[in-house]
């Protein structure tokens, strides 16, 4: 009798020892399934957001074409609108690439292992270059210039080697220019021209530096900067705007 009781107890202990890890594995698998479901929903939301933004951009481009047909339309406003569209197109390209990458690579399911990095991984995602840049850009579009300056400066501090660093500096200059803080605008555009001479914002920064100097009453300096722009980037839209500005001042 005692042997049977001992055998029964031993079996119970053995079963409990095997069932416990099975239950843990099952719970971990359920947790992973929930995470995957959440990620799939996020991807679906991202795709829907991309489609909506594409429709909005299409409307903007059509509106820009219509206004561009009006000869009385301010060419500077058209050029600035084109810059906005370029930024948004770059944002869309990054977003689409991100969604495609996430669709291609299924997240690993590692039972019993914690997510590498934990909260730090979430923090890094929040402070990714794209999120930091486009949060600041969104503030600029909403005319929250002080927030935009802080955001773009944070981007430059965190990601000084990123390809958008000169863009961030340019939009800081635009923030100052929009607030008629022309001294700061000139300093910012000069910094961009000096540090990113081969960047794609150099011509635009030179143009706005010339404009800012003229707004400050320093016409001869401003015209000199605009002439330099025409010489350096003769076929650019900015050069055409610079020529028009010089003609307007000379009249």
Joined tokens for residue 81: 């609108």
Q: What pLDDT is recorded for position 251? A: 81
Band of the pLDDT at 19, cuts 50, 70, 90?
A: very low
Could you tell me the pLDDT band of residue 122, with boundaries at 50, 70 and 90? very low
SS in 3 state form for the chain?
A: CHHHHHHHHHHHHHHHHHHHHHHHHHHHHHHHHHHHHHHHHHHHHHHHHHHHHHHHHHHHHHHHHHHHCCCCCCHHHHHHHHHHHHHHHHHHHHHHHHHHHHHHCCCCCCCCCCCCCCHHHHHHHHCCHHHHHHHHHHHHHCCCHHHHHHHHHHHHHHCCCCCCHHHHHHHHHHHHHHCCCHHHHHHHHHHHHHHCCCCCCHHHHHHHHHHHHHHCCCHHHHHHHHHHHHHHCCCCHHHHHHHHHHHHHHC
Return the pLDDT at 131: 86
| Per-residue model confidence (pLDDT) at position 13 | 44
Q: Mean pLDDT throughout 146-151?
A: 96
Residue 203 contacts residue 239 (beta carbons within 8 Å)? yes
Question: Rounded to two decimals, what is the model's pTM?
Answer: 0.58
Q: Average pLDDT in the 126-153 region?
A: 89
Q: What is the pLDDT of residue 30?
A: 63
């Amino acid at each position: 009798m005692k042997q049977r009781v001992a055998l029964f107890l031993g079996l119970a202990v053995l079963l409990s020892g095997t069932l416990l890890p099975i239950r843990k594995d099952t719970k971990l698998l359920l947790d992973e399934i929930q995470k995957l479901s959440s990620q799939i929903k996020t991807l679906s939301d991202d795709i829907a957001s991309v489609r909506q933004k594409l429709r909005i951009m299409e409307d903007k481009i059509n509106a820009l074409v219509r206004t561009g047909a009006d000869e009385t339309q301010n060419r500077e406003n058209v050029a600035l609108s084109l810059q906005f569209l370029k930024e948004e197109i770059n944002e869309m390209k990054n977003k689409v690439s991100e969604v495609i990458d996430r669709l291609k690579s299924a997240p690993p399911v590692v039972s019993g292992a914690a997510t590498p990095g934990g909260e730090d991984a979430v923090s890094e995602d929040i402070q990714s270059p794209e999120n930091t840049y486009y949060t600041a850009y969104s503030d600029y579009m909403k005319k929250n210039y002080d927030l935009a300056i802080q955001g773009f400066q944070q981007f430059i501090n965190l990601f000084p080697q990123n390809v958008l660093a000169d863009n961030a500096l340019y939009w800081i200059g635009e923030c100052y220019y929009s607030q008629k803080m022309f001294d700061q605008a000139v300093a910012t555009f000069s910094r961009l021209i000096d540090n990113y001479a081969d960047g794609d914002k150099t011509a635009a920064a030179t143009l706005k530096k010339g404009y800012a100097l003229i707004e400050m009453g320093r016409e001869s300096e401003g015209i000199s900067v605009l002439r330099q722009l025409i010489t350096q980037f003769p076929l650019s839209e900015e050069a055409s705007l610079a020529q028009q500005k010089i003609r307007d001042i000379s009249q």
